[in-house]
Amino acid sequence: MTPKAHFAEKLRLAGLRPTRQRVAIATLLLDGRHRHVTADSLTEEITAAGLHVSGGTVYNTLNQFTEAGLLRRVMVHNDYSLFDTNTDHHHHFYEAENDQLVDIPHDDVILAQLPAAPDGHEIKAVDVVIHIQSKNS
Amino acid sequence: MTPKAHFAEKLRLAGLRPTRQRVAIATLLLDGRHRHVTADSLTEEITAAGLHVSGGTVYNTLNQFTEAGLLRRVMVHNDYSLFDTNTDHHHHFYEAENDQLVDIPHDDVILAQLPAAPDGHEIKAVDVVIHIQSKNS
DNA sequence: AACTAGTTTAAAATCATTCTAAAGAGCCTT
DNA sequence: AAGGCTCTTTAGAATGATTTTAAACTAGTT
């Protein structure tokens, strides 16, 4: 199977029509490498690959991929959106000083006790963000 | 001690000059009631109290209070900033559907194991956000 | 090839937040 | 109480990420 067909299929399974731009973005983001991207950094990657996708579509695609579970939104500040290509269950270190986000392997955080969700609700996800700072600051 | 003098002193201790607007906002937010506010909701409270503080000052004050440890910023989405008047160590439930934030008592979450901070860094804070959704959705 | 619904586009619009320059107010000194 | 110095506040402009718009395009179907 060609890479293009592979990602087209992946998008179809996610309920997304495999358009040229979505396949291009999937090829860049969903290759298994774990990293964190922004609308801006993704646009740079697209440009570096000799392609062009309009700004609106970059935003739409990031949102749609997230909605479809192909990406995960990481919440550490309010300046701009961050997306994680690793959708497995894991947590993050965040250093505000340098706006640096680092993955924490799943097993390194153990939640021994969780509260029950409020009545009529169920737990969808548990996000742990450990804020760190350099020692001499 | 008058309430005004009380909050003026509190601000001085936090390293903030007790101006009329900062005392007014402290009186509204730092009375011990635990709640979550936004720049918008705070502006409404100020107006409801028959006062007026410019938009820029509302934002500045929220940031300064947070910096001074009088408020805590809560990160659950990227739409606008949320502040918690409860600065004690505790975590949150977040229901995205209704943009609803609910406190979790400190003792209801037990972190049995935390990873060591990366070299040269130390842990400043650990935030746990439990995303919930209503069962029939 | 033709059709239709979903998608992309560039540009305009939105909206929270920050910045600006001028006016005002704490607060220290006399 | 007046003077003065610095920090604050103000209204309005500016910023910047994100969303919306309306028109052009395309994937998938007939």
Question: What CATH number is associated with residue A56?
Answer: 1.10.10.10
**B37 pLDDT above the threshold of 70:** yes
Distance from CA of A90 to the nearest CA of B (A): 12
Query: Which residue, of B71, B97, B120, is where some domain finishes?
Result: B71
Angle at B6 between CA B5 and CA B7, to 5 degrees: 95
Distance from CA of B3 to the nearest CA of A (A): 34
Q: Which of A100, A22, A13, A87 is nearest to A54 (CA)?
A: A22
Q: Are residues B97 and B67 in the same domain?
A: no
Residue B121, in any domain of the structure: yes
Record: contact A130-B109, CB cut-off 8 A? no
Distance from CA of A37 to the nearest CA of B (A): 15
Residue B117, in any domain of the structure: yes
Record: contact A126-B125, CB cut-off 8 A? no
Q: Return the higher-pLDDT residue of A47 and A1.
A: A47
Q: Are residues A57 and A94 in the same domain?
A: no
Q: Are residues A8 and A61 in the same domain?
A: yes
What is the domain extent for residue A128? 83-132
Residue A117, in any domain of the structure: yes
Q: Are residues B50 and B13 in the same domain?
A: yes
Q: Return the higher-pLDDT residue of A36 and B1.
A: A36
Give the three-state DSSP class for A116.
Answer: coil
**% pLDDT > 70, chain B:** 99
Q: What is the number of domains present in chain A?
A: 2
Alpha-carbon span B26 to B7, nearest angstrom:
6
Using a 7 Å cut-off to protein CB atoms, list the covered nucleotides of chain C: 6-12, 15-20, 25-27
Q: Are residues B61 and B95 in the same domain?
A: no
- pLDDT reported for residue B1: 67
Residue B78, in any domain of the structure: no
Residue B76, in any domain of the structure: no
Closest by Cβ to B122, choosing from A102, A126, A135:
A135
B39-48 and B55-67 helices cross at what angle (nearest 10)?
110
A39-48 and A55-67 helices cross at what angle (nearest 10)?
110
Residue B137, in any domain of the structure: no
Q: Are residues A15 and A67 in the same domain?
A: yes
Mutation for A interface: B98, B102, B109, B136, most A CBs within 10 A: B109
- pLDDT reported for residue A137: 66
Query: Which residue, of B42, B71, B100, is where some domain finishes?
Result: B71
